[in-house]
Amino acid sequence: MDIYYIILVLPAVLLALIAQGFVKSTFRKYNAVHSHRNITGAEAARQVLDAHGLTHVAVGKVAGDLTDHYDPRSNTIFLSTSTHDSTSVAAIGVAAHEAGHAIQHDVQYFPIQVRSAIIPATNIGSKLSVPLIILGLFLSSVAQDFILLAELGVICFGLSTLFQLVTCPVEFNASHRALETLKGTGMLDEDELPKARKVLSAAALTYVAALAVSAMQLLRFVLIVAGAKGGSKKRR
């Protein structure tokens, strides 16, 4: 029985599941509330972009539900069907949030630059971390020096945790920029802004929960490898 998983990781996983359910229910609730100005998510994203001089950034549609994202490689905001064509307060908030990411890239917001810079290392590290940890733990029973492989695996996994850590301020800042622009341009009325804020706050919780899961998993690996390393020294 992996006691570290039960004590550390499982509660964080449950928190993540609750956060995912909360964001879906919140989006569903405010997706039924149509904006007074009757603009679509696509139109909202376009207006936010234009308000910041980003006329070169395109707005497209992507399949799926809540699959909205900004692709800096093609300078395109992709909005899911539930956001692109909807005139709801929720859709406008989500669309403006994605436009916020385009603004971050344009002004070279430091956390998003860091996140972009570590993506290649994070992708490699996430694939190698667990195999290295397992291999290192297994071979350390033969020769203690192989525990270095497990320690390298922990470092690789730490890159994923670093990515989640940097993602949090990026997402919070994108939401802040979105709400400020929605208010400044008058796309949402005063009574509609709190509803859009609730949708974006619920979405932000999923990133906090993802960070918690990654951090607890990292701590679990650190404790397991440290325990195995201590056991190897005792056997010598």
SS3 2: coil
Catalytic one among 43, 98, 151, 171?
A: 98
Q: Residue 214: left if φ>0, alpha if ψ -120 to 50, beta else—which one?
A: alpha
* C-alpha span between 206 and 208 (Å, rounded): 5
* C-alpha span between 119 and 123 (Å, rounded): 6
Compute the CA torsion angle 83, 16, 170, 49 (nearest 10 deg): 0
Q: Would residue 98 show up in a list of annotated catalytic residues for this protein? A: yes
Residue among 165, 174, 163 nearest 208 (CA): 165
Residues that are catalytic: 98
